[in-house]
A and B are shown apart, each in its own frame.
Chain A
């Protein structure tokens, strides 16, 4: 059986406060996060963060910043970094904080695709609750959007994280996963009206494709790459890397979230076993943008040797290799079967395709509006409808309307989402974080993905959380923090 891959999704949400703008956004996001009304622990341990380390074996002097965006910070001081980020560790093991003016929800680490998709969806409710509290306190209307662009050239990310043995190495990861990352957008893109770089188009399937300019680098804020090389493992660096995928979109349809992560897990399983199909894409950046803008939906990809293939053929090659060479678990079996079914419908049954694919659901929604209004694709207000597809308010968001009308695949039921806002079901290290927040909060000094630190009788005790270990539910039975630490040190 193949290795279970620990994964998480981090989403920077768009934030709009009435009568305020980007210049006030960092302060507003800090206030929004700090006003989170439900149980949490405030604090984060930054000792193990290394955003300038590169998987290729070097370290950047600094990370590039968008010069236009930097103007917003001119002459301002928000305080020290930890204060600006305003980290909250939630009772489900998630992290909620301010990242460059965006409320960011990082799911707890998950093993199964379904668990991760539910946690990602529960995160929308967490951010919405914080936005409502912020609105009540400030007296200002507040909108929160789970998207990746402001249509004016500013983008913000939805990143995926996968725990990978360091022995795999950058060269294999880049070679084996880049074609998959380019191709998967046809099934998991979130769709966008218009473009923010390059030749004009009326609609494209990816929110993010306009913003990638290099095949690989460690940047995330500017000159973004298809394949991000940040080396920040959040675990023992001698054993693991964290594959940090930054080229995906935020998905509103949970089924798409699961497929987005599942396709990368499939690629990783093939990469780790040295069985990934070999594609030589001539220009990964141009290919990603070309696929995104292809309204014929043939999704052609130029290869070296002046040949070409399609995104669908690339995906199918991974499916065939996995079927032939891997012992598939239920998750990967689902990824292959459901993806094949969707690929068979993109041309023949677009309404069925659109139930599980955000870009297609959004496109149908806009077509419905155009038919009703008599408008056309040049109407500038179409971007407002695009934006509102991503509104996380269940009473006004347009994806929420489609979900309530059973036009798209359903969200998890409300009881399950409420449960996942405060609980962890899988035996991952997120369970240790969850118990620390819910049971030993008064003893907790700081937390991060890799460690927990407690104050035990005046002494700071740091406990490492190995990501591959099994964290049993019995940890919650620890009668005191000392016993809890002892039990954590015994997990394997």
Chain B
């Protein structure tokens, strides 16, 4: 089967659209989780230098 025989086609993308066109919706409204006591309690216990110390072997 060749591409021309395919039964489906993707939704056509308009050729005159260019990357960066400001036609989409704006960034979403990001609000903090409700009832964040347990989360914030744990976050306050996080060692802020933990990620600095965190060095890993490169894996797959």
- A347 with B28, Cβ < 8 A, contacts A22-B55, A364-B33 known: yes
CB nearest neighbor in B for A150: B56
A401 in contact with B39 (CB, 8 Å)? yes
**Whose C-beta in chain B lies nearest to the C-beta of A324?**
B8
- Do B28 and A151 have beta carbons less than 8 Å apart? no
Complexed CA–CA distance, A222 and B59 (Å): 9
For A102, give the chain B residue with the smallest CB separation.
B59
Considering the complex, give the chain A residue whose CB is closest to the CB of B40: A372
Interface membership of A365, Cβ < 8 A: yes
The reply to whether B26 and A296 contact each other, CB–CB distance below 8 Å, is: yes
Binds B, one of A130-138, A381-389, A429-437, A446-454: A381-389
Give the docked Cα–Cα distance between A351 and B56 (Å): 33
Give the docked Cα–Cα distance between A16 and B6 (Å): 51
Q: Which residues of chain A from 343 to 400 have a CB within 8 Å of any chain B CB?
A: 346-348, 350-351, 353, 363-365, 367-369, 371-372, 380-381, 383-388, 396-398
| B57 touches which of A69, A384, A405 (Cβ 8 Å) | A69
A277 and B9: CB pair below 8 A?
yes
Nearest CB in chain A: distance from B23 CB, A: 8
Question: A66: CB under 8 A from chain B?
Answer: yes
Q: How far is the CA of A35 from the CA of B9 in the complex (A)?
A: 54
In whole angstroms, how far apart are the Cα atoms of A159 and B36 in the complex? 33
Residue in B14, B43, B52 whose beta carbon sits within 8 Å of that of A369 in the complex: B43
* Other-chain contact of B58, A154, A350, A364 (Cβ < 8 Å): A154
Q: In chain A, residues 152-209, which have Cβ atoms closer than 8 Å to a Cβ of chain B?
A: 152, 154-157, 159
Residue of B nearest to A397 (CB): B42
Nearest opposing residue in chain A for B51, CB measure: A383
Interface presence of A220 (CB below 8 A): yes
Given A16-B54, A365-B33, A156:B59 Cβ within 8 A: yes
> Which chain A residues in 267-313 approach chain B with CB under 8 Å?
274-279, 295-298, 300, 302-303, 305-310, 313
**B-chain residues with CB within 8 Å of residue A22 when the two chains form the complex:** 55-57
Residues of A within 8 A of B35 (CB): 405
Find chain A residues with CB under 8 A from B54 CB. 14, 16, 145, 150-152, 387
Q: Does A221 contact B (CB under 8 A)?
A: yes
Give per-residue flags for A62-94: 1 if the beta carbon is below 8 A from chain B beta carbons, else 0: 000010110010000000000000000000000
- Select from chain B the residue with minimum beta-carbon distance to A14: B56
- Report the bound CA distance from A212 to B29 in whole Å: 30
| Contact for A350 among B13, B29, B39, B42, CB less than 8 A | B29
**Residues in A whose Cβ lies below 8 Å from that of B28:** 297, 346-348, 350, 353
Q: Could you pull out 14 A-B pairs where Cβ atoms are within 8 angstroms?
A: A99-B60, A154-B55, A275-B8, A277-B8, A278-B6, A278-B9, A295-B27, A348-B28, A368-B40, A371-B32, A381-B46, A384-B50, A385-B46, A405-B35
Closest 7 CB pairs of A and B: A156-B59, A368-B32, A381-B48, A101-B57, A298-B24, A383-B51, A69-B58
Known contacts A150-B56, A367-B30, A380-B48; can you find 17 more A-B pairs with CB under 8 A? Answer: A16-B54, A22-B56, A100-B58, A151-B51, A221-B58, A222-B58, A278-B9, A307-B13, A309-B10, A309-B13, A317-B8, A325-B7, A368-B36, A371-B32, A384-B46, A401-B39, A402-B33
